[in-house]
Chain A
Amino acid sequence: MTRATLGWIVLCWVGFALLPWYGFDRSASPTIADYFVSGSAVAHGFRGAWWLLPILVPLGMTLVPVIRPSLRQKGTWLLASGLLGLALIVLQGFSIGLNGWTMDALKVFGEPGPRQAGMGYGAALASAALLIVLCHGLAARGWCRGDAFITSSIGAVVALILVFVFFPVSTILASAFADNSGNFAPSEFISKFMDKSIWGLDCVTSDLRCGVAWNTLFLGLLVAFGTTALGLAFALIATRTEFRYKKLLRVMSVLPIITPPFVIGLALILLFGRSGALSNLLWEWFGVPRSRWIYGLPGVLIAQLLAFTPIAFLVLIGVVQGISPTLEEASQTLRAKSWTTFWTVTLPLMRPGLANAFLLGFVESLADFGNPLVLAGNYEVLSTKIFFAVVGAQQDQGRAAVLSIILLAFTLGAFWMQHAWLGKKVYTTVTGKGDSGIPLPLPRRVALASYFTAIPWAIFTVAVYAIIVVGAFVRSMGRDYTPTFEHFLTAFRVERADWGLYFSGSAWNSFFATVKVAALSAPLTAAIGLLTAYLLTRQRFSGQRSFEFGTLLSFAIPGTVVGVSYILAFNVPPIEITGTGFILVMCFVFRNMPVGVRSGIATLSQIDKSLDEASLTLGARSATTMRRVVLPLLRPAIVASLVYSFVRAMTAVSAVIFLVTAEYNMATTYIVGRVEAGEFGLAIAYSTALIIVMLLAIVAIQLIVGERRLGRRSASAAPSPVAVQAVP
């Protein structure tokens, strides 16, 4: 019996016997006594909540191995008590609701039956501790080579995904198989699924429209190819060339990712719309007739390329940096031309990065909501169609669920194809061996190709952002260019009152709430994401593939569906958290975790396990190994997931639109409201402020985490006799 196991057993008891089992009603003002003992499950149990008392049985069972240390089947006891405890908690939680029995079958025991509120701190702690006890039991029985940390981590991640992804999503997907009054009707599903507006192929043979599924797929593939190519060009320029404005290029490529939704779309309209700035120039100088080409596939494609290239870049730069020059030098020594080396050595080594970048680009495009909303015109995609199936004039949740299932199928298909392409090959290039090579300069044509894609794109990005900045400081972009600070004053006015500063601007509330939620969810996302990546790459356990799939699921489901499903699932006991900021944080953590997982996997699969082993062999404890070897090598992944989750929490729209409340209003819902009201100036001004906050946050994250330093010499550095620089 380790001290850790004992500690968790104590925590089970604390959660059950000391802390308040139920959450407090919002109107109640709990006393200290409510927080300790008298609100606990034991107290409730003896005061009439008899259904809580059976939980004492598994709690008692946890004590058996404590009392009798000589017992041989300690693991089995722990396992059994954990399983039974969790089962009892779940069973009573789901069968007794706010208004009595929740299932009709139970009503034979009398109506309406006992009532109970949502779970509180005590229940949460007891359940968590029981879960860990269960995992310790598994470890004691020899799972994962008896490593309790690994089993607990797997258990915790699985439980979190079950509660915050599978549970809500299954509640809404069930409605795909129900008719309008909620009865089970599989025929409804088939008729909705086979609808012509989804699968029609008329655009191939005539000038009619194709089904929304094909549109989405086509757009997703184009975006995925485009972002991967652009991301690769940027990554190659940033790491392998002597390009003078590298730093600038890097900052610029990251700009779109920190841009709130709608803004890129609006800027594109103001540039290329029929009355846009550039269209006007083209008309006046060259007589190019103005048209509406931007509304539809071209517009969405450009906006999504602008928005998602940085994700590909962030994934690929870590991978390109990590490629060992040794292999390239070996290839050169064997007299391969630089082009051959690039094509047959460098590029294949980048496969994990390319595949992950492609997958992310594809999935992001599928899930994107803001850009299609503004720019898609008559080109319909699934994400907006789902949103309007829920909130539009149709109000058809079943249809939304059917469309979500199709969207989900596409994402999972992409995931499966990525796996098939990567196969079982090895991509390890960061090893402890002498990496004395010099990174190969890019072959001429690759360098040229990179410059020719990246630089025009960068200029284009600058133009779009110039429009955004100008838009924030003029009265009405596109019509009236009188300079003004009016928008900033409306949003961010601060007045001096007698008692201090008074934030009277209309945006301050949502601004503070957004920053708070983003700052809390970012580290959680990164931690859970990287832990999952570590489990997936460094450990072998049964069900690993489905585990990986589960982590990807929440990313694949459109935000609207997640939003509605969170309300359906978490508005009633046992888990009653709607209206709190907590639900927003959880929503963000599980929506953004996949990026942490993907970038963690991409980076970890490059790092040779023998590095960990070498450190261990040299006498370092595993804590030291983790701190001095693995985590520093993971820095790009840490930065990527921290940045991404912070930024996403500040810019997501569709999922949070249903979860915001008066206290926790988010910046994006405020901006959406402004855009709807036609106040582009204010929307853009607020977005500019958000961009600045996010830039500061990114710089801070970079400074705190630091850069990974690999022992690679640059061509200009003086050759050093030391083969490998020590990893910091």
Chain B
Amino acid sequence: MKLKKTFAAATMLAGTMTALSFMSAGAAQAQGALVMYCAVQEEWCRAMTTAFERETGIKVSMTRKSSGEIYAQVKAESQNPRADIWWGGTGDPHMQAAEEGLTEEYKSPKMSELQDWAVRQWEQSKQRTVGIYSGALGFGYNTEQAKANNIGEPKCWADLLKAELKDEVQVADPNSSGTAYTLLATIIQIMGEDKGFEYLKALHKNVNQYTKSGAAPAKATALGETTVGITFMHDMVTMVVDKAPVKVVAPCEGTGYEIGSMSIIKGAKNMDSAKKFYDWALTADAQKLGAEAKSYQVPSNKNTPIPPQAPKLTDVKLINFDFAKYGSSDERRRLLSKWDNEVKNLPK
């Protein structure tokens, strides 16, 4: 029996050592520290982290996740918050968190420098979240595939219903992706709810796949797996910059947009650092970093130079997107279940 005991003792010892080595590693120190959940691309997150550290000397612990994952985590951690600031990611989860009181009210002195849409986001959320960038919805097509399939140049939402594009359009599933939900809300706001659903039903015939992730159609378009992909335009631009045969289109009927947002977590352990970061992230200098990290969203500070590759919002016909209505959880649930029942389950 002795060996078994040694074995058991060794196991326990190993377990304890593990616990010790990890627990004593400790996380960020309270003074001059900031825990940040970041929802944009890794490179941009890193650039923000290092620039802020260099500027203020505050040590930033950054974790990158998708916006929905961060929302789920912040909600689960609400009893004992771990993060201080949630930077980036599409606005809906931020609005949802604001609605549930998971985030903190804050009025930054930099508010006057922001674009109207960013301030509106802040007002609608009762000062709990603010816009830091925005991107318009659009679509892109693979020029090689378009030529091979003789499709011409689609320019409008209506063009996507052409019979030649049967099984050639890719878009995410609005149940899993904020991008696709933006499309759903946009189409309804352009055409009205009944006509809008007629359009989506017609589009359903041309959709080859409802992807899980919102940006996935951009990659599929670049690789030629689909001819047309509906995504945020900046996702397509990233593919173009990477020299993929893709052309980005701003639909002629007008289009909706997302507002990438920033919120301070309620009960943040490092509230001062979080506010410092908040103010800094709204400056033009901080917002310049996006384009340098190959992310081509439109920054919210009026003084930030807009990257030349970015789809200029002035050239895009933007609709007056009602974030308060379409961001509320009741309306979202209603539209999603309607889409599930009336569109997704249709035969091809």
List residues of A whose CB falls within 8 A of some B CB.
4, 23-24, 26-27, 98, 121, 124, 128, 147, 149, 152-153, 156, 197, 202, 206-209, 269, 273-275, 292, 295, 373, 377-378, 384, 388, 390-395, 397, 476, 478-480, 506, 520, 523-524, 527-528, 531, 564, 567-568, 571-572, 576-582, 585, 621-624, 626-627, 657-658, 660-663, 665, 669-670, 673-674, 676-678, 680
Contact = CB atoms under 8 A, between A and B. Distances in A.
B135 to A, nearest CB: 15
B176 to A, nearest CB: 4
A564 B223 contact: no
A658 B69 contact: yes
B307 interface: no
Nearest to A582: B22
Interface in B11-42: 11-12, 14-15, 18-23, 25-31, 35, 41-42
A677 B61 contact: no
Contacts of A663: 25, 27, 61
Contacts of A292: 167, 208-209, 225
Q: Which of A273, A377, A662 has the most CB of B within 10 A?
A: A662
A24 B215 CA distance: 42
A676 B213 contact: yes
A662 B62 contact: yes
A585 to B, nearest CB: 5
Contacts of A397: 72
A567 B92 CA distance: 23
Nearest to A626: B3
A112 to B, nearest CB: 14
Interface in B131-176: 167, 173-176
26 contacts: A26-B26, A26-B28, A98-B79, A275-B224, A275-B225, A388-B212, A393-B92, A394-B336, A395-B329, A397-B72, A506-B46, A523-B14, A524-B15, A527-B14, A578-B77, A582-B23, A622-B3, A626-B4, A627-B3, A657-B69, A658-B76, A662-B28, A662-B35, A662-B63, A677-B41, A677-B238
Contacts of A208: 345, 347
Interface of B: 1-5, 7-8, 10-12, 14-15, 18-23, 25-31, 35, 41-42, 46, 61-66, 68-69, 71-73, 76-77, 79-80, 82, 92-93, 96, 167, 173-178, 180-181, 208-210, 212-213, 215, 218-219, 222-226, 238-239, 242-244, 269, 329, 332-333, 336, 340, 345, 347-348
Contacts of B61: 661-663
Given A26-B26, A274-B225, A670-B42, A665 B63 contact: yes
Contacts of B244: 479
A580 B1 CA distance: 35
Contact of B18 (A295, A524, A578, A622): A524
A274 B224 contact: yes
B210 A378 contact: yes
Pairs A-B, 4 closest by C-beta atoms: A27-B30, A662-B61, A391-B68, A388-B176
B68 A392 contact: yes
A377 B226 CA distance: 12
Contacts of B333: 394
Contact of A579 (B12, B82, B223): B82
B139 to A, nearest CB: 16
Given A393-B181, A622-B1, A275 B223 contact: yes
A676 B223 CA distance: 14
Contacts of B42: 506, 670, 673-674, 677
A564 B242 contact: no
A148 to B, nearest CB: 9
B23 A23 contact: yes
Nearest to B182: A393
A678 B345 CA distance: 30
A468 to B, nearest CB: 16
A392 to B, nearest CB: 4
Contacts of B82: 571, 578-579, 661
A678 B2 contact: no
Contacts of B2: 621-623
Q: Which of A206, A207, A377, A572 has the most CB of B within 10 A?
A: A377
A384 B173 CA distance: 12
Contact of B336 (A295, A393, A478, A660): A393
Given A27-B30, A580-B25, A528 B225 contact: no
Q: Which of B1, B82, B208, B210 has the most CB of A within 10 A?
A: B1
Contacts, number: 211
A645 to B, nearest CB: 13
Contacts of A26: 26-30
B1 A623 contact: yes
A160 to B, nearest CB: 9
Contacts of B223: 269, 273, 275, 478-479
Given A394-B336, A506-B46, 7 more contacts: A478-B224, A622-B3, A623-B1, A658-B69, A661-B82, A676-B215, A678-B238
A197 B1 contact: no
A134 to B, nearest CB: 16
A391 B7 contact: no
Given A98-B80, A579-B27, A678-B222, A657 B4 contact: no
Contacts of B65: 657, 669
Nearest to B15: A524
B63 A661 contact: yes
Contacts of B12: 128
Contacts of B77: 567, 571, 578
Contacts of A206: 347
A149 B79 contact: no
A209 B25 CA distance: 50
Contact of A149 (B4, B14, B25, B27): B4
A687 to B, nearest CB: 16
Contacts of A27: 29-31, 269
B269 to A, nearest CB: 7
Contacts of B348: 207
B59 to A, nearest CB: 10
Contacts of B76: 564, 567-568, 571, 658
A391 B71 contact: yes
B176 A571 contact: no
Contacts of A623: 1-4
Contacts of A670: 42
Contacts of A156: 8
Contacts of A579: 27, 82
B22 A564 contact: no
Contacts of A149: 1, 4-5, 8
Contacts of A577: 23
A390 B213 CA distance: 14
A633 to B, nearest CB: 15
A341 to B, nearest CB: 39
B93 A395 contact: yes
Contacts of B4: 149, 153, 622-623, 626
A123 B92 CA distance: 42
Given A274-B225, A528-B11, A585-B22, A572 B79 contact: yes
Contacts of B46: 506
Contact of B22 (A98, A147, A392, A581): A581
Contacts of B11: 524, 527-528, 531
A626 B5 CA distance: 11
A582 B18 contact: yes
Nearest to A577: B23
A533 B222 CA distance: 50
A156 B7 CA distance: 14
A582 B25 CA distance: 10
Given A275-B224, A479-B222, A395 B63 contact: no
A393 B176 contact: yes
Contacts of B23: 23-24, 577, 580, 582
B239 A678 contact: yes
B80 A572 contact: yes
A567 B73 contact: yes
Contacts of A624: 3
